[in-house]
Structure 1
Amino acid sequence: MPAVSAESVRPKRILVYGDSNTFGWIYDPKVGVTRLPVEKTWVRVMADKLGAGYEVEVNALGGRTICRDQRTGIGTGSRIPGPLFNGMTSLPAVLSENLPLDLVIVMLGTNDAKAAFKTTADQLADDLGRMTELIRGDGWGGNTPYPSPKVLLIAPIYQPDDTAYGEFFKGADA
Structure 2
Amino acid sequence: MQKKTILFYGDSNTHGTKPMSSFDKSERFTSGERWIGILQNNLKQYHIIEEGLPGRTTVHDDPIEGKHKNGLTYLRPCLESHTPIDIFVLMLGTNDLKTRFSVTAADISYSINQLISEIKTYHLKSNRNCPKIILLCPPPIKENRSDLSNIFAGGEEKSKSLHHFYQKIAQKHDLTYLDIGSVVTVSEIDGIHYDLDEQVKLAHSIQKLIENL
- TM-score, with length taken from structure 2: 0.67
Once the two structures are overlaid, the 10-residue window that deviates more, 107-116 or 145-154, is 145-154
Q: Deviation digits for residues 139-163 of structure 1, max 9, x if unmatched?
A: 6874xx6311121111123211115
Match of 1:131 in 2: 115
**Cα distance, 1:92–1:141 mapped onto 2, change above 3 Å:** farther
1:50 counterpart (23, 26, 43): 43
Query: Residues 15 and 59 of structure 1 are in contact (CA less than 8 Å); yes or no, is this contact kept in structure 2?
Result: yes
Q: Structure 2 CA distance, aligned partners of 1:47 and 1:141? A: 31
Match of 2:89 in 1: 105
Match of 1:160 in 2: 142
Spell out the pairing of 1:1-174 with structure 2 (5 A cutoff).
9-29=1-21, 32-51=25-44, 53-73=45-65, 82-138=66-122, 142=126, 146-162=128-144, 164=146, 165-174=148-157
Q: Structure 1 CA distance, aligned partners of 2:84 and 2:97? A: 32
SS at match of 1:32: coil
Runs of at least 4 residues of structure 1 off by over 6 A?
none
Q: Structure 2 CA distance, aligned partners of 1:57 and 1:141? A: 23
- Structure 1 or 2: more helix by fraction: 2
Structure 1 gap ranges (5+): 1-8, 74-81
Q: Deviation digits for residues 97-154 of structure 1, max 9, x if unmatched?
A: 1011011111110101111112211111111111111112236874xx6311121111
Number of aligned residue pairs: 155
Query: Residues 93 and 140 of structure 1 are in contact (CA less than 8 Å); yes or no, is this contact kept in structure 2?
Result: no
Q: Structure 1 CA distance, aligned partners of 2:54 and 2:122? A: 28
Identity %: 28
Q: Structure 1 CA distance, aligned partners of 2:141 and 2:92? A: 13
Q: Deviation digits for residues 67-116 of structure 1, max 9, x if unmatched?
A: 0110022xxxxxxxx11100000100001110110111111101011111
Query: Residues 90 and 136 of structure 2 are in contact (CA less than 8 Å); yes or no, is this contact kept in structure 1?
Result: yes
SS at match of 1:72: coil
Q: Structure 2 CA distance, aligned partners of 1:147 and 1:72? A: 37
Once the two structures are overlaid, the 10-residue window that deviates more, 118-127 or 155-164, is 155-164
Q: Structure 2 CA distance, aligned partners of 1:20 and 1:141? A: 30
**Cα distance, 1:107–1:28 mapped onto 2, change above 3 Å:** same
